[in-house]
Amino acid sequence: MAGVWSLRDMVDLEAVRSWLPPSWVLATAGSAVVAYLIYKSVRILRTDCDLTLMSKSLRPQYFSGRVVWVTGASSGIGEALCRELSKHGALLIMSARSDQTMETIKQSLAHPENAKILPLDLSDAKICSSATEKALELFGRVDILINNAGVSQRCFFMDTDEGTDDAMMQINYKAPRTLTQGVIPGMLEQDFGHVVNISSICGVSGMPLRSTYCASKFALRGLTHTLRYEFHDKKNLRFSLVCPGPVQTSGDQNSHIGGGRLHGKSDDLNQQRMTAQRCAQLTLVAISNQLLEVWVSRKPALYVPYLAHYAPSTLHFLWRARSGAFIHETMGRSSY
């Protein structure tokens, strides 16, 4: 029709074709993009940590020559952390109640000459208050504090007595708080410090049979965030939070069931969990990159913090549907 211009009339197609790359280049580039997207998708599906942590790699020089104080060093994640840190040249302060066990672990480290033992019972508030002074006597400073020690729980809220409640809050929250308050002055004076609190996915979402455990881990998470904001102008004072999911440790056996008693057995799915070594390796990646908060777990537990943040109603629905079976697996009955 007269007066109507088509796109073909307005655009010089030959000129466009002249600057377009050859078709094989476009095909190759397209294939590369598709391959990359498939690779990233597979990584995401197979990953055992959050996406930010997944994108980082270990910076071992961050630990070389630095004094790292690890609590709960006699087993589980704490022991694995000490083994990994020793490989990277850290000067270790190993703390736990069992100094004999720690001595055995120390002698098997990559560099036992760079490790010192500080026996510490975190259930005793008075001992915790004087622990920092003793730690400073070993190397003269503390550069990185990893509050790893903790105890878990396997009982109904209505069966949790006040003594159990107090004991768990002391170890899981009050002791890390006390140690952190003790090391910060020295960190400020030396213009460097990093406090790492090992919380839990139970510190992001509630979970049946772990009322006090969840409360203590929520408290530790809140403390970490608060300290980060209060010391916002201290660029060389860092606070990191690590939230592991189920890990192969003795935590099940040592879980409180009320009345001063311990669970005394491992959960049936313990061997399907993340290993303590893998958890320690990911934790060190997070620390060396000064990440603020990371989630570390195999699936499906890794989905829990994502749902808690982005779809809390969905998580609530799933927990309500699953709680009966979950409780029955541990307690032998489906409800209180």
What string of H, E and C letters represents the secondary structure of 232-255?
Answer: CCCCCEEEEEEEECCECCCCCCCC
Task: Respond yes or no: is residue 213 known to be catalytic.
Answer: yes
41-58 CB burial, b ≥16 within 10 A, e <16: eeeeeeebbbeebbeeeb
Q: Which of left, alpha, beta for 208 (phi over 0: left; psi -120 to 50: alpha)?
A: beta
Q: Which residue in 39, 62, 173, 213 is the catalytic one?
A: 213
- Residue whose C-alpha is closest to residue 101's, from 78, 69, 123: 78
Range with lowest mean pLDDT among 3-17, 52-66, 242-256: 3-17
DSSP string of 23-87, one letter each residue: HHHHHHHHHHHHHHHHHHHHHHHH-SB-HHHHT----GGGTTT-EEEEESTTSHHHHHHHHHHHH
Does position 296 have pLDDT exceeding 60, yes or no?
yes
C-alpha 185/C-alpha 191 separation (Å) is 10
The residue with greater pLDDT, 25 or 238, is 238
- Supply the pTM of this predicted model: 0.85
Sheet holding 293-296, edge to edge: 115-117, 91-95, 67-71, 144-147, 193-198, 237-244, 293-296
The residue with greater pLDDT, 327 or 180, is 180
Does position 269 have pLDDT exceeding 60, yes or no?
no
3-class SS at 322?
Answer: helix
Range with lowest mean pLDDT among 231-235, 260-264, 313-317: 260-264
What confidence tens digit (pLDDT) does each residue in 71-84 have? 999 999 999 999 99
Does position 8 have pLDDT exceeding 70, yes or no?
no
Domains located in the chain, CATH noted: 56-307 (3.40.50.720)
What is residue 250's predicted lDDT score, i.e. its pLDDT? 66
Range with lowest mean pLDDT among 112-126, 192-206, 262-276, 298-312: 262-276
C-alpha 203/C-alpha 218 separation (Å) is 4
- CB within 8 A of 68, min separation 6: which ones? 85, 90, 91, 92, 93, 143, 144, 145, 146
- Count the residues in the chain: 336
